[in-house]
Every structure is written in C-alpha cells, then in structure tokens.
Structure 1
Amino acid sequence: MLTNSNEFVFQHFFSMIKKWPFILAFSILLCNTVTVLAQTEPEEIKVDGDKFQDFFYESIFQKSIENYDKSLVALDQCLKLKPNNETIYFEMGKNYLASKDYKNAYSSFERAAQIDANNKWFWVGLYDVCYETKDFNQAIIIVNKIIPFDAEYREDLVSLYMITKQFDKALAEINDLNEKVGKTERREMYKMEILSESKFQNSEVGTLKGLIDKNPKEESNYIALIFLYYNSNEEDKAQEVAKKLEREIPESVWAQVSLFKDYIEKNDGISAVKSMNTVLSSPKVDSKIKHRIFNEFLLFSNANPQFTPDLDNAIGYFKNDKEVNVAKEIGKFYHNKKEWIKAIKYYEMSEKNNSEVDLETNLLWLQAYTELKQFEAVVKKATAMIDTYPAEPQFYYYSGMANNQLQLFKKAKEILEMGLDYVVENKDLEINFNIQLGEAYNGLGDTAKKELYFNKANQLLKEKK
C-alpha cells in the first residue's frame, strides 16, 4: 500500500496525463466515444469529457495499486456518463477478475462482448474467467470465438479437449495442426495418450495411411504407423510399412529399425548385421532402441557363432555410452551361462575400452579365472587390484585363495590376515577368509591355528542358520 505522499504523486501524475490530447492508449480505449462527443455542444464536450477522463484515470490508478473496489466505483461513474461503453465493462471485468469475483467478472466481459463482438480481448476475458473457475466446457465455446482472431488459441483448444476427455475432437485437432503448422512435443504427448486406447487406433491408422498416400516422402508418418501396428501386435503390417518406407526413402534409418526384427526372425544374419550397423551408427535413434537391437543380436550370435565378430564390432558404437558398459554386460551374459572364456574376453574388452577401473568387472573377471583354475592369473590381477583398492577385502581373498592353490602358504597367510581387517558386515566373505586362513596354516603345518580358523568358520556358519 502506498503512503499519502506517494498517492499524491500518482494523482498529480495522472492529472497531468489526462491533459495530453493524443495519448495512444487512451485514444484506443475510448475510440467508440468519438461519435457521441461529435454530437455534443463544445461547452458540454469539455465538461463531460473532463469528468469521464477523471473517473477513468482514477479507475486505472486505483487498479494499479490493487484498490479494486475504488476502481469499480470510478468505473460506475464512467458508466453513468456513457452507459454502453464496452471499454468500461471490460475494465470492470478485469477488476472483478483480479478480486476473484468471478460471477461479476463474467457478466462484465460478456456485456463488453455483446456490444462489440469483434474485440478479441473481450472474449479472452471470458476465457480467463472460465479457466479460473474450471468451467472447461464453457471455455471451449469461448475459445472457438477467439480462434478466428488468433489461431494460436487452437493449442488451448486441444488442451481443453484433453481435460474434458473429448479425445476424438482432440485427435482431429492435433492431426490438423500437425499437418498445417508442424508437430510439437506437447501435442505428440497428447496423441500418445489418446492412441493408448485401442478404439482410437483404427481412425489414426486411416489418417496415417492417407497422409502417406498424400506425401510418400514424409518419413514421420511411416514411423508413427509402424509403431501403431507394433502396439497393436500387428507385426506383419508393421513390416509391410517398413518395406514401403525403405522403397520410398532408402536412406531412412527407421525402416532398418523395423526390418532388423524381420531379418532376425528369418535367420537372415547378413541382412540383420547391415540393418543393425545402420541403426547403431545413427544419431536419430534413441539409445534404448539401440540397446534393444544389440541385445537381440547378442542372442542371435550366441545361437549363430559365425556372427560373433559382427557382435564385437558393434560394441564400438557404444564406446561413449555413459549409462551402460556394453562389453561388461555381454561378459555377464556369458558369465551367467558359465561360459567363462567368453565372459573373460568381454571383461577384458570392457577394461580396454574404459579408462576408469571398474570394481565389479574385476571381481567378475577374478571369479571367471578362478572357475578356470588359472590361479597365476588370479594372483597377478588380485595383487594389482589391492594397490588400486587397498580397502576392498575381496581382492585380498582372491589373492590369498589363489596363493593357497599355488601352495604359496606363507604369502597366502600374510595377505589373508591383512585383508580380514577390512571385512565388515559380510558374513559369507568372513567365513571364506577363515577357511582360507585354515588352509594356509594347514599348509604351514600349524595345526593349532588351522583348527582355530576352521572352528571360527564353522561357528559363523551356525550363526547364519
């Protein structure tokens, strides 16, 4: 709220403004009063004009400092001087809306629109009231009045159709806007929501087919139709569209996305490799789709080992992928199948492709070599990893276990005793440490220590049950 001195400054400011004869804003607001004034005697023009301007500027001033009641009082005085002035009703509507008197706000904007139906802003005022009061069905009626003046309000119409669940009208509006002004992220999101309901998919199929016939070089319509068929489990139809896309737009990567699956199912490995490489090298395709295609080819190459070199080459497309370590995941795939040599191959590829040392990859690598009983390799790797991760007990365990297997019992004892200090809240690992320490002391001929550690292991096993 302003002080009295501040209010005086504003009053003085507005009293000066009202004497400026060619103020653009005022001339626009009061343009409809010119005819009335022209029919009045000069003396009356001056008196009535001054009063009207005084009250009007007073209303503007009071609204600017959020004194909406006082602003409305001044506007009532304006109406007494000019009873059918649409600008005054519009200003009253804005004051009522700002003070959340929605009923009077709507009535005021409505009266302004009745006097002059060609003023966009009177309809916008009505729309604002409808939106504030969540009267979305009435808002649709009002927005349709605004669109002839401003076509951008078609975006609002789409949203209103979505809010009121008039999805058929929303879809028609979306398709028309997409064709005439291009797609937007919001409209595409709405469209996906609509097409998740099967009853709308048939009409969309027809729309997309028509668009393809009309413009066979527009790639996006093929893509939308392909995904629509996939979502409806009509894969044969999706493949037909993909082949048509490939004929019309040979360079389209999206045709290869769809055709890849067809080649895999037909056991056409050569064509599948070609499609896969096209997709993986394209910046247009989302990484999730690339990973899905790669995983399908992994399963294919596992059943068809002659294509393993193509799988290995494809890993290079993911070298900058910060989210998924592809080589490592392939290693884990073979690890779970207990194909240790293949698993190791991809763990080593992962290590080569990544500058950072990965804890999990190295532990898996050690387990795979242990399964192959290649204990010299285990000792070498585990010792190197202890230097990198000096507080990670599992590397001490693998080094101690492998040294035991190589009958280097003293070395095993020293490493295991050192690593046991780092075991925290891992009962399984603690059991294994005690077993290996018992083995080390057994190898050294220390029966008492051997029994001590075997007994500890047995006690921990009992506590687990």
Structure 2
Amino acid sequence: MNAQIEQDLEAQDSISNIENNNIFQVKFFKALSERGIENYEKAGEILESLKKEHSEKAVIYFQLGLNYFDLEQNNLALEHLEIADQLKPNDFDIREALFKVYEQQKNYIKAIELASDLALKKPEYYEILANLYLITEQYPKAIDALTKAEQKQGFDVHKDQLREVIYEAYNKPKKAISYYQKRVELEPYNPLNAIRLTRFLIQSEQYRKALETSKSLIDNHPHFTRAYVLKTQIHLKLDEVQQAFDALEVVVSDRFLEENYKVKAIEYVKSYVENHPEYQEAFVQVLNVASKTAENSASFLDLGLFYFENDKPRALENFKKALAQNPQDFQILRYISILELQLNKPEAAIETVDQALEIFPTQAVFMLIKGQALVEQTQYNAAESVLLEAESYIFEENNLMLQLYESLQRAYKGLNEEEKSNTYQAKAKQLKDKLK
C-alpha cells in the first residue's frame, strides 16, 4: 500500500467553505470518518454520491483523489485531483497531493514542475526536487536545488549523502573538489568533508593532493581510522607499497572500525598484490597481525580467501576462526562446507551444513553440499531425498543446477536405478552444453 497522503480537518476547511447544509455535512464527515479508519472504498462510495449533487465543490474531488491514491488507483486519483486543482487553483494541499501522484506515476516533468512551486512554501521540497533532478540526470539543477535546501534548512547527513551521490553521477570531480574544499574550511570539525574531498581527489587522479588531505585529516582527527582506508589506496596508486601496508595495518587492527571499511582496504591491497606477487608474503603478514588483535572476522575471512586455492587446510582454519566471530555468516558457512567436502571430510561438511540450514532453511547450495557429502558416504537414499529437495529451490539454469544433476546421477547410480541415473546424466550434459 502506498503511503497515505494525510490531511487533517483544518486542511479540508482551507480547501472549501462547506455550506451549512446538514445533510452534506453528515455525509461528508462520515466519509472522513471512514477514511480515518482506512476504509477507503466506503469513503469513496459516500464521496461519489456527494459528487453527483455537489459537482462544484473542490473538497469532494480532493478527498476522492486521496482515497483513490490510497487504493492504488492512480489514474482515478489524478483525474479527481486535477479537477480539484481547476476548481480551486494554487491550493497547496491539492497540489501537494497531485505531486505525489505524479511522482508515483514517474511523471517526472509534472512532478518537478509542482515541486518547484511547492518548495516556495515548504523548503523541504528543494531536497525532493534535487532528487528528482538526479533521477532525470539534470545534475547542475540537482546541485542548485540541494544548495537552496541547505541555505533554507542547513546541512544534515541526508543532504550530504545526496550531494555525494549527485557528484558521483555527474562525474565531474573538479566541481565536487571545489565544493568540499569550501566545506572543509567551513566545518573543519567534520571529518566526513575531508573524506569526501580525498575521494574526489583520488577520482581525478590528484594523488599527491589526496595524500596531503588525508594526512591533514589524520592530524586533525587522529582517531578517525577511516582516513587510513583512503591512505592505503593512495599509497598504492603512488606505488608506495610499504606505506600502504602500514596504513592497512592501522585499519585492520582497529577494534572499533566497521568491518566493511576493513574489507575495502584489504581489497585495495589484494588487487595490487595480485599484479605484484612479490608482496604476497608481506600482505599475509599484515593480515596475520590483524587477526591476532582485531575483534571481527574480516582478517580471518580474507586469509581464508587468500589460501582457498593453494592451501585448503590453512584456508579452512582461517574460515573457522572467522565463523567463531560471525557464526551466522552465509558466505563463511558456504566456504567451510565446500572445503570440508574437498578435503574429504564429509561428516564435518554435513555438520556444518546442518548448522547452516537451521539459519538458512531454503538455501539450495547447502542442501546440494549435504547431498554430495551423503553420496561420498554411500548414503544414497538420504542423498536422493535432500538433493530432490534442493531441486525444488533451484529455478535458474546455472552451475548450481548442473552440480545438482550430476549429484543426482551419482546417487541414482549408487541405488542401481539406471534409468533415473541416465536421465540426470542427460540433463547434466544438455545443461553443460547450454552453459558453455
């Protein structure tokens, strides 16, 4: 259900001077009462009967528009609100309701036109207008509207986030840099301004200036560890690898920094090391240091991923440490169960999968792993049951479905059901050819 367009009784009085007609008043306020308890259909029926007798009253069309909007009948809502607007031009409440219908219908030209007028009376519409300009890719107008919102209402987190999104979409980092340089001067106490300035300096490949900004940020806000995330990236851009590792160590060792920032810094370095394998050992050492001090699973998870292809026992060891710190993580449970199966530990894999299925009961990937482990244990009947259950949750022709067909083929072969085994073997071959 769409959000209701709420109006109090004062708003209704402002739209139309209701005549002192007892019958009209009784019916009209009955309609308002029905609307008040969200009985929009009943309210609409009463108002439709009043419309026949009082076709000149804007308030009836207005209320009908509101009810049809809440019933998600937007065409009827628009029809009645436009009539109300004609009968009582420039009424704020009617035009605000019209705006919401246009916005819902994605008629952005009309929505922008109305929002521009509504903003003159209600400044919060400047921010709404900025978002509409962003949607329609009118970036200079979006920035202008947001600037007006800031002038009228001041800065806040939501406006700052919207502005950053606009600048990102606009893809003109120089304009963003100019703005955030002024914000840093205006609000030196707010480290997020310097963070955003640094990001756009990196985007425009002004790495030395970005480094200077990040260093200044750290000097002014020494406990704001997020600055080191960008510092890691900048040093790598400048091929200053040791400084990047030093910054990474600060990031991953901070017990209070959110995990997503740590993962981001790790990804920067991992990407660099993939192209410069001579730094792999140094990278692992930093992660090992972090894993001993951090209270989150980021370092262990990344060590697990790092060893996944080349040292599966060490990968499994690190994934288990990550799981101990984050026992309901889908990806960690998946990696552990896969590795246990690959390391010929089917009983352990089944135990891990059963733990996962208690949290994610409809995840076919865990059912598939359990079925494969049961096949390895020659428990073919149990494997058939769990694999057929997994089949009911796989809807796309992908690698997961291919593995399922191959596993069912093995299960039925173990059960000496050659016909079914051949059927799934054929399905697997057909799907494999399709996925090539």
- TM-score tier, shorter chain, comes to 0.5 to 0.7
Provide the identity percentage: 14
Q: What residue is the counterpart of 1:243 in the other structure?
A: 215
**Paired residue total:** 317
1:219-298 mapped onto 2 (5 Å cutoff): 219-263=191-235, 265=238, 267=240, 269=242, 271-280=243-252, 281=254, 282-284=256-258, 286=260, 287-293=262-268, 295=270
Q: Which amino acid aligns with 2:94?
A: F
Q: Does 1:57 align with 2:26?
A: yes
Q: Which amino acid aligns with 1:195?
A: E
Q: CA deviation at 1:207?
A: 0.9
Going from structure 1 to structure 2, the CA distance change for 1:392 and 1:351 (only over 3 Å counts) comes to farther
Contact 2:225 2:251 in 1 (8 A): yes
Q: CA deviation at 1:392?
A: 7.6
Going from structure 1 to structure 2, the CA distance change for 1:386 and 1:362 (only over 3 Å counts) comes to closer
Q: What residue is the counterpart of 1:71 in the other structure?
A: 50
Going from structure 1 to structure 2, the CA distance change for 1:73 and 1:256 (only over 3 Å counts) comes to same
Q: Does 1:89 align with 2:73?
A: no
Q: Does 1:196 align with 2:182?
A: no
1:97-176 mapped onto 2 (5 Å cutoff): 100=76, 102-103=78-79, 105-113=81-89, 120-128=92-100, 130-131=102-103, 134-174=106-146
**For 1:123, what is the secondary structure of its paired residue?**
helix
Q: Does 1:29 align with 2:13?
A: yes
Q: Tell me whether 131-140 or 221-230 shows the greater mean CA deviation.
A: 131-140
Contact 2:115 2:125 in 1 (8 A): yes
Q: Which amino acid aligns with 1:58?
A: K
Going from structure 1 to structure 2, the CA distance change for 1:210 and 1:71 (only over 3 Å counts) comes to same
Q: What residue is the counterpart of 1:397 in the other structure?
A: none
Contact 1:302 1:308 in 2 (8 A): no
Going from structure 1 to structure 2, the CA distance change for 1:277 and 1:301 (only over 3 Å counts) comes to farther
Per-residue deviation, residues 78-112 of structure 1 (Å, max 9, x unmatched): x5xxxxxxxx3233333367561745632422432
Going from structure 1 to structure 2, the CA distance change for 1:221 and 1:149 (only over 3 Å counts) comes to same
1:291-370 mapped onto 2 (5 Å cutoff): 291-293=266-268, 295=270, 302-303=278-279, 309-316=285-292, 320-321=296-297, 325-332=301-308, 335=310, 343=311, 346-347=314-315, 350=318, 353=321, 358=336, 361=339
Contact 1:92 1:105 in 2 (8 A): yes
Gaps of 5+ in 2: 1-7, 32-41, 69-75, 325-332, 350-372, 378-406, 411-436
The separation in 2 between residues aligned to 1:26 and 1:206, in whole angstroms, is 46
**Structure index of larger Rg:** 1
Q: CA deviation at 1:131?
A: 4.0
The separation in 2 between residues aligned to 1:298 and 1:192, in whole angstroms, is 30
Going from structure 1 to structure 2, the CA distance change for 1:75 and 1:327 (only over 3 Å counts) comes to same
Going from structure 1 to structure 2, the CA distance change for 1:33 and 1:361 (only over 3 Å counts) comes to closer
Contact 1:110 1:122 in 2 (8 A): no
Going from structure 1 to structure 2, the CA distance change for 1:323 and 1:60 (only over 3 Å counts) comes to farther
Gaps of 5+ in 1: 1-23, 35-48, 80-87, 336-342, 367-381, 395-422, 427-465
Which of 150, 153, 157 does residue 183 from structure 1 map onto?
A: 157
**Higher relative contact order structure (alpha carbons within 8 Å, sequence separation ≥ 6):** 2
The separation in 2 between residues aligned to 1:172 and 1:30, in whole angstroms, is 32
Q: CA deviation at 1:144?
A: 3.0
The separation in 2 between residues aligned to 1:348 and 1:126, in whole angstroms, is 59
- Normalized against structure 2, the TM-score is what? 0.57
The separation in 1 between residues aligned to 2:119 and 2:408, in whole angstroms, is 69
Per-residue deviation, residues 280-333 of structure 1 (Å, max 9, x unmatched): 124246243143155368678954867865442123367742897333333346
Going from structure 1 to structure 2, the CA distance change for 1:236 and 1:25 (only over 3 Å counts) comes to closer
Going from structure 1 to structure 2, the CA distance change for 1:92 and 1:122 (only over 3 Å counts) comes to same
Contact 1:143 1:157 in 2 (8 A): yes
Contact 2:82 2:98 in 1 (8 A): yes
Q: What is the RMSD computed on CA atoms of the aligned residues?
A: 4.5
The separation in 2 between residues aligned to 1:275 and 1:201, in whole angstroms, is 25
Going from structure 1 to structure 2, the CA distance change for 1:347 and 1:173 (only over 3 Å counts) comes to same
Q: CA deviation at 1:276?
A: 1.8
